[in-house]
């Protein structure tokens, strides 16, 4: 299945999908040392996003979240790519400064069409997310 959307940050990545129905705050919600979602009660609490294509509706929280994403990229704990329903500025900035591919506004709802564990190929320059079941 091929989903078409908008390039926010270009690049290419492949990886296993981790899908969350909840918005994400990287500041306080994700441990940058381990890549594990630590926000209590979060839909993917306890899951590691390192090297995965992290699919979630949008970001939330402090502007420091951009720098947490950057720190994760330097530590090697960052996701391979992000796919959002609609990206907000904090997530976009973090991906820009970290070189993490980011796509949003897909032609079909990624939270419905993509399942955790699916293999995804993200061609962000074209705004394409390919789902390989």
Which residues are marked as active site?
62
| DSSP-assigned letter for residue 41 | T
Instruction: Give residues with Cβ within 8 angstroms of 83, minimum separation 6.
Output: 5, 53, 54, 55, 56, 102, 103, 104, 106, 110, 114, 120, 122, 129
How far is residue 104's CA from residue 124's CA, in Å, rounded to a whole number? 9
Contact 7, 103 (CB under 8 A): yes
Contact 11, 81 (CB under 8 A): yes
Contact 60, 99 (CB under 8 A): no
Among candidate residues 26, 109, 101, the one with its CA nearest the CA of residue 69: 26
């Amino acid at each position: 299945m091929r989903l078409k959307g908008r390039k926010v940050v270009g690049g290419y990545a492949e990886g296993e999908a981790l899908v969350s129905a909840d918005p994400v705050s990287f500041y306080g919600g994700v441990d940058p040392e381990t890549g594990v979602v630590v926000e209590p009660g979060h839909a993917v609490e306890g899951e590691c996003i390192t090297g995965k294509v992290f699919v979630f509706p949008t970001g939330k929280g402090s502007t420091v979240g951009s720098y947490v994403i950057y720190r994760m990229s330097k530590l090697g704990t960052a996701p391979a790519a992000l796919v959002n329903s609609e990206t907000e500025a904090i997530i976009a900035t973090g991906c820009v400064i970290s070189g993490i591919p980011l796509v949003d506004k897909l032609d079909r709802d990624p939270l419905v069409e993509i399942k955790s564990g699916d293999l995804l190929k993200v061609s962000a320059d074209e705004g394409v997310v390919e789902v390989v079941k």
